[in-house]
Amino acid sequence: MGLANQILHVRRRRAKNTPRAKQRKCPHRESRLWVRGRKAIGEFPGKLVVDLVDRGGDTFEFLDFEHDNGHHYVVRSRLQRVCQKGHEATGLAGQVTRALARAAGGGTAAVVGAAATGKKGRRGQPGRPAQAGRQTENSALLGSRDAAAPRAGAGRGEHRQVPLCVWALRAWEPAPA
């Protein structure tokens, strides 16, 4: 386990009236960073590699790249993706996170949270007080979905126009204290 690649990136300023088509063709576009980083890692024959991606990597361009290359990945969701229930593309259309929020079932588990240390404030401001650890009841629900590709011409990166068979996991604390 560990960090396999990191790209240091500084967001470029663009002219105020830059046309959207020109912005989409820019080779330094932020959404391209995830694909570039994964390509730089290469393959690990005989090893299971799972790409862990934060919300910045939740682009259809990156997800399609991962699928097309047979990579395993976990992405923290940022977008409300249009989907269909199941992998047969016959289920009802909806949005992934909303569909999982409405779904019944799932499981629960008791989780003990670690205590948080206090933090000093800056420049005379009050800090954050220390908090004792607490036990919570968390729930999780897993479901298969077909994530739809953005419509052609929508300018959402470079990807195939095919739905992606994905598994979605929703984890939450039903009664936060």
* pLDDT tens digits for range 36-72: 889 998 888 888 888 888 888 888 888 999 999 999 9
In a domain, 143, yes or no: yes
Q: What is the mean pLDDT of residues 159-177?
A: 81
Domain residues for 66?
20-106+135-172
End-to-end CA distance of the chain: 33
Does any domain span residue 62? Answer: yes
pLDDT tens profile 70-108: 999 888 887 777 777 665 555 556 777 677 777 766 778
* 139 part of a folded domain: yes
* Closest to 173 in 3D by CA, of 142, 143, 137, 141: 137
- For residue 79, being part of any structural domain is answered with yes
| Residue 3 falls inside a structural domain | no
Enumerate the β-bridge partners of residue 144. Answer: 167
pLDDT at 109 over 70: yes
- Whether residue 11 is contained in a domain is answered as no
User: What sign results for the dihedral spanned by CA atoms 18, 21, 27, 32?
Assistant: positive
* pTM metric for this prediction: 0.71
C-alpha angle 77-105-95 in degrees, rounded to nearest 5: 35
Instruction: Give me the pLDDT at residue 161, please.
Output: 80
Q: Which residue has better confidence, 103 or 110?
A: 110
In a domain, 60, yes or no: yes
pLDDT exceeds cutoff 70 at 153 = no
pLDDT digits (tens, 9 = 90+) for 112-138: 877 777 777 777 777 777 778 788 888
Give the whole-angstrom CA distance, residue 85 versus residue 96. 9
* Residue 120: inside a domain: no
139: pLDDT strictly greater than 70: yes
**Secondary structure of residue 126 in the 3-state scheme:** coil
Is residue 149's pLDDT more than 90?
no
Cα angle value 91/173/107 (rounded, 5°): 55
How many separate domains does the chain show?
1
